[in-house]
């Protein structure tokens, strides 16, 4: 084969069993150090888009370097798709939508909902403050644990501090069951 011409035809008919509908797609791969990128296939709207991509690769005067490439390298083809957006049954964008009306300055339309939004906003601000305090407490505790690990080899003190840190972490995450830590 050395000194001869090598011909290779790559033919990709399409894709099968995608989990989403593809609106458009293209493929890319490297063959013997050169990157090949297909045209973009558009308006596919299918879970099994048909491409019919074809490319003939020609290597004149095959040498040891090319034979090593064939023996060692793998032809990896990357497929890039843009998913089709599903049609959503929703009200058209209009000033009848309170959020749109408010953002356009029609405050009267949403005034009846404003007290609910203000209450929700106040609650969320309090919740953020509470979580920041818990985070600060957790951070301080972790600093203390790391400091005690460096300062002493007293494992009982370290174990107690580590247990407190784990319990605090579980409290913050809302999973306060003590299944992983054994005293």
Domain boundaries, the chain: 6-83, 114-183
The percentage of the chain sitting over the pLDDT mark of 70, rounded to a whole number, equals 78
- Please check whether residue 49 is in contact with residue 3, taking contact to mean a CB–CB distance below 8 angstroms: no
Greatest Cα pair distance in the chain? 84
4-9 average pLDDT score:
93
From 65, 56, 57, select the one nearest 2 (Cα to Cα). 65
Taking phi first (over 0 means left), then psi (-120 to 50 degrees means alpha), and beta for anything else, what does residue 46 get?
A: beta
55-68 average pLDDT score:
93
N-terminal to C-terminal alpha carbon distance within the chain: 70
- Please check whether residue 8 is in contact with residue 75, taking contact to mean a CB–CB distance below 8 angstroms: no
Q: What is the pLDDT of residue 183?
A: 43
Distance CA 127, CA 133 (A): 10
pLDDT at residue 54 tops 90: yes
Distance CA 100, CA 114 (A): 14
Q: Which of 16-30, 134-148, 153-167 has the lowest mean pLDDT?
A: 153-167
pTM above 0.75, yes or no: no
Query: Tell me: the pLDDT tens digits for 76-114?
Result: 999 998 888 766 566 667 777 777 777 787 766 655 566
């Amino acid at each position: 084969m050395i000194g001869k011409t090598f011909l290779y035809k790559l033919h990709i008919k399409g894709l099968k069993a995608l989990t989403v509908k593809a609106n458009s797609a293209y493929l890319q791969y490297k063959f013997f150090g050169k990157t090949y990128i297909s045209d973009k296939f558009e308006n596919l709207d299918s879970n099994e888009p048909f491409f019919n991509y074809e490319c003939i690769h020609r290597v004149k005067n095959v040498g040891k370097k090319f034979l090593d490439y064939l023996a060692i390298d793998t032809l990896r083809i990357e497929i890039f798709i843009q998913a089709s957006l599903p049609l959503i049954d929703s009200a058209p964008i209009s000033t009848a939508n309170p959020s749109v009306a408010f953002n356009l300055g029609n405050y009267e339309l949403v005034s009846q909902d404003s007290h609910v939004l203000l209450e929700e906003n106040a609650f969320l601000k309090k919740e953020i403050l509470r979580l920041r305090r818990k985070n600060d407490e957790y951070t301080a505790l972790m600093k203390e644990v790391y400091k005690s690990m460096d300062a002493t080899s007293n494992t009982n003190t370290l174990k107690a501090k580590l247990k407190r840190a784990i319990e605090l972490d579980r409290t913050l995450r809302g999973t306060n069951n003590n299944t992983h830590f054994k005293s």
